[in-house]
Chain A
Amino acid sequence: MVKLTINGKVTEVDAEGDTPLLWVLREQAGLTGTKYGCGIAQCGSCTVHIDGEAVRSCVYPLAAVQENQKITTIEGLSATGDHPVQQAWAQLDTPQCGYCQPGMIMASAALLGNNPEPTDADIDKQITNICRCGTFQRVREGIHLAAKINTAQSSKGSAK
């Protein structure tokens, strides 16, 4: 058994050390919000945060995760689904089929965590997730809107 800190809870999982974190999350922790798309870190559907940084979990072996590292999945991004990225996505009706969106949202949230007001060029560089429905136009708009929501919330004294 291995102990992981997932979405703020210490969770025991039973998997071989070379099991990708993606499958540990989906099949051991029962968190199916994180998706399988390619298995070779090309599409980003499996993006989660480890200590706030975006990680493609389909190629991240369980053995590489330390118990004290904080894993955040789409289910744990916010308690009530109101992270600024989620708010922006809802306002713009960004998702289409929705399958890539947990990864897209996690990648966008990580970008904003490191860079509260990303430019279009920053977005081009940092958001490399594939979306076959082609939601990119509203993803870009959504990241800019989330940055504004974040600023507005911060100025009101809310937690970031």
Chain B
Amino acid sequence: MTIETIKVSRRQFVFGAAITGAGLSVGMALPLSKTLAAVPGSTRPEVNAWVVVAPDDTVTIRIARSEMGQGTLTGLAQLVAEELECDWDKVTWEYPTPGENLARARVWQSFSTGGSQGIRSSHQYVREGGAAARQMLIEAAADVWGVKSAECVAANSIITHTPSGRTTTFGKVANAAGQGVPPTTVTLKDPATWKVIGQPLPRLDTLEKLTGKQVFGSDVSLPGMVNAAITACPVHGGKLASFDAKAASAMAGVMSVVAVGDDAVAVVADTWWHAKTALDKVVITWDKGENANVSSASIDAFLTEGLSAEQAFVGNEAGDIKAGLARAARTYSADYSYPFQNHATMEPMNATAVWTKDRCEVWCPTQNGEAALAAAAAAAGLPQEQCDVHKVSLGGGFGRRGASDFVTQAVKIAMTMPGTPVKLLWTREEDMLHGYYHPITKARLTAGLDAEGNVDALHVRISGQSILATLIPQGLRDGMDPVVFQALAAEGDHALSYTVPNLLVDHAMRNTHLTPGFWRGVNVNQNAIYLECFVDELAHETGQDPLAFRQKMMRNHPLALAVLNKVAEKAEWDKPAPAGRHRGLSVCKAFGSYVAACAEVSVSADGKLTMHRIFAATDPGYAVNPQQIEAQVFGSFVYGLSAMLYGECTVQDGAVEQRNFDTYPSMKIAEMPHVDTTVMPSGGFWGGVGEPTIAVAAPAVLNAIFAATGTRVRHLPLKNQALRSA
């Protein structure tokens, strides 16, 4: 994935034109910034943008990226604290606002939180921020003592003048330090001397999650706030034709029924429950447009055509694929497919907005504060300097909250009642209908094998959606979407883990009306299934051990080989599986990390699957917080395995058919395999954590299912397949 492209272009994630507004001039009378604690005040002296130290030595570390469960908040704080040399027990955190970032020339750089980027794309400047603050604190102490700063050291929030043994604390010199001149260069610590980075520290944000005190977006409460429920045209691309609000307007608590943009209706009421129940009574006529003719069957035919289409974008090429296939002793081919999936964050989309003609402020759970600010300003018809976004805890993100559609809606509704804060909360049904869905694709894999069963040629043809073409067209390269080739690329963060002499990976782009989005793991989810299950097929077809077969193709990929060997060792691949159980392997490089899994499953005579345990290994280069990495490994497995088992959005008459967890199930604890994780950081690079391992869970299980049953599952999700013939 081209990181820079995504980072920059996500700011374009803004819909629609500005609205001319209701025209009323009402002053902003609300104490806007006093409602939430995590709003950094310019009233508190800071050492620098990253660090605030209070007189009592409490260290507040500013976090630009969004915490949505992945632990990045604690990891980023560890990076700053390591260089700052502060007492970890005194560390707390806060979010700066995107508006402050704008006003301060983007001192915190990107707020975007996706692509497992939180730590790996900011570790350098975040650590430098901590190191600079430490130096400024030392300079301030040296100034007070009239000694050379080079004679002073900092440790555990205490500064010591080594020759004299005098000491002071960060808190005592923080004010003076903030007045000092920031150093022009800083030297970062040698990783061998790290004391905070690499430690399995508890998260900084756990306790409030145990008592109900954590404020999520849907919990925001402002003085005088009203509530809104919304419904948009169920067919993407469709419009609002008309609505009759007579019955709804008469219902308890209802304040107004309004059109939102050109495709939605919202009810504003005293409580959300009143708004929601009244919305059910609004009689709406939609102009569904031509997309109403689209169905899963028509999409399937569209993508199937792409599997053999003449033209395709070439994402990775080596040798001569035609010659390789032509001279093969044997060719083998299989088709796979992967459906649309909804993120289904536990907390449905929401945003709270207050608008006047001079100012607009938004409180929302977002993975990209800067994009949310841009969306708010565009909707409000105001310059960004007159707007701000206050980030609130996210009840899950998984990529969905990188979009700002809900911010745009909330601002538009707020514009109908200037000065009054409006909290917009989607129903689960609305959330299911209006996702940025995991892209739908199919793949045809064709291998040319030599007489010894070696893979001499491999063609992977992908047919299906491009996220960039739909959301970030400026990220395309001559029309090609590089993100489509995740885990199949020639080099980089998503390099293919195998060497094949004659290789072609290409993409027949087939975009549908349903908007695709970045979904935890993005395109590695299906690409790893396609490749890792197909490689498993080739091993079985040629009578080779799936581990040895992979190892032969991985001689030039030592780090990927190391994680694969690790899971094989942990699972005791060289010995038979426990009685009745069967194993499957998978390996991948994704988001800069090397990951592998070995799943152990059994399938009963009537086809019931039990996933007993999965051995996982990950090499993220540097492991900032191993216990959080472990949590991301087993957590990502739940997300990936839920998708494998159940995840499917189908389309009928242009609309998504699944509306809630009854028809879009998610895995429960009873189905959860025990995950045995090995975190094996080899150092020297910074790989992602939140997403990489999701790639290997499903293919490892699918390969184990084949070992158990002889049934090769090539079309997801599993719920549609019988594992044993009746």
Q: List residues of chain A with CB under 8 Å of any chain B CB.
A: 15-16, 19-20, 23, 27-28, 30-40, 42-43, 45, 73-75, 77, 81, 86, 89-90, 93-102, 105, 123-125, 127-140
Cβ-defined contact, B428 with A136, below 8 A: no
Majority SS of interface residues in chain B? loop
Cβ-defined contact, B212 with A136, below 8 A: no
Interface size class of B (residues with CB under 8 A): 35 or more
In the complex, what distance in Å separates the CA atom of A90 from the CA atom of B208? 10
Neighbour of B207 across the interface among A81, A99, A102, CB < 8 A: A81
Neighbour of A134 across the interface among B252, B627, B634, CB < 8 A: B634
Given A35-B395, A99-B216, the answer on whether A131 and B638 have CB atoms closer than 8 Å is yes
Given A75-B212, A98-B69, the answer on whether A132 and B660 have CB atoms closer than 8 Å is no
Cβ-defined contact, A31 with B638, below 8 A: no
Cβ-defined contact, B661 with A86, below 8 A: no
Cβ-defined contact, B273 with A27, below 8 A: yes
Interchain nearest-CB distance for B124 vs A (Å): 26
Taking CB atoms, residues of chain A closer than 8 Å to B206 are: 89-90, 93-95
| Contact mask for chain B residues 201-225; partner A; CB cutoff 8 A; 1 contact, 0 none | 0110111111111111011010000
Interchain nearest-CB distance for B222 vs A (Å): 13
In the complex, what distance in Å separates the CA atom of A94 from the CA atom of B631? 8
Cβ-defined contact, B212 with A31, below 8 A: yes
Cβ-defined contact, B252 with A16, below 8 A: yes
| Contact mask for chain B residues 634-661; partner A; CB cutoff 8 A; 1 contact, 0 none | 1111110010000000000000000011
Q: Is residue B669 within 8 Å, beta carbon to beta carbon, of the partner chain?
A: yes
Taking CB atoms, residues of chain A closer than 8 Å to B396 are: 97, 99, 132-133
3 closest A-B pairs by CB: A33-B212, A134-B638, A99-B395
Neighbour of A75 across the interface among B211, B215, B344, B428, CB < 8 A: B211
Interface centre among A33, A131, A132, by most chain B C-beta atoms within 10 angstroms, is A132
Taking CB atoms, residues of chain A closer than 8 Å to B273 are: 15, 19-20, 23, 27
| Contact mask for chain B residues 265-299; partner A; CB cutoff 8 A; 1 contact, 0 none | 00000011100000000000000000000000000
12 A-B pairs (CB sep. < 8 Å): A27-B272, A37-B348, A37-B661, A75-B212, A90-B202, A93-B627, A96-B69, A97-B393, A101-B209, A129-B668, A134-B642, A139-B669
Neighbour of A32 across the interface among B219, B398, B669, CB < 8 A: B219
Q: Which of B542-550, B670-678, B710-718 contacts A (4 or more CB under 8 A)?
A: B670-678
Neighbour of B393 across the interface among A28, A90, A98, A136, CB < 8 A: A98
Majority SS of interface residues in chain A? loop
Interchain nearest-CB distance for A57 vs B (Å): 12
Interchain nearest-CB distance for A116 vs B (Å): 19
Q: Is residue B71 within 8 Å, beta carbon to beta carbon, of the partner chain?
A: yes
In the complex, what distance in Å separates the CA atom of A43 from the CA atom of B348? 12
Known: A30-B221, A42-B661, A132-B344. 10 other contacts (CB 8 A): A20-B273, A35-B346, A36-B425, A39-B427, A90-B206, A93-B203, A97-B347, A97-B395, A129-B669, A134-B672
Taking CB atoms, residues of chain B closer than 8 Å to A23 are: 271-273
Neighbour of A38 across the interface among B69, B214, B215, B428, CB < 8 A: B428
Q: Is residue B662 within 8 Å, beta carbon to beta carbon, of the partner chain?
A: yes
Taking CB atoms, residues of chain B closer than 8 Å to A42 are: 660-662
Taking CB atoms, residues of chain A closer than 8 Å to B218 are: 32, 35-36
Q: Is residue B551 within 8 Å, beta carbon to beta carbon, of the partner chain?
A: no
> From A39, which residue of chain B is reached at the shortest CB distance?
B428
Cβ-defined contact, B674 with A93, below 8 A: no
In the complex, what distance in Å separates the CA atom of A56 from the CA atom of B674? 28
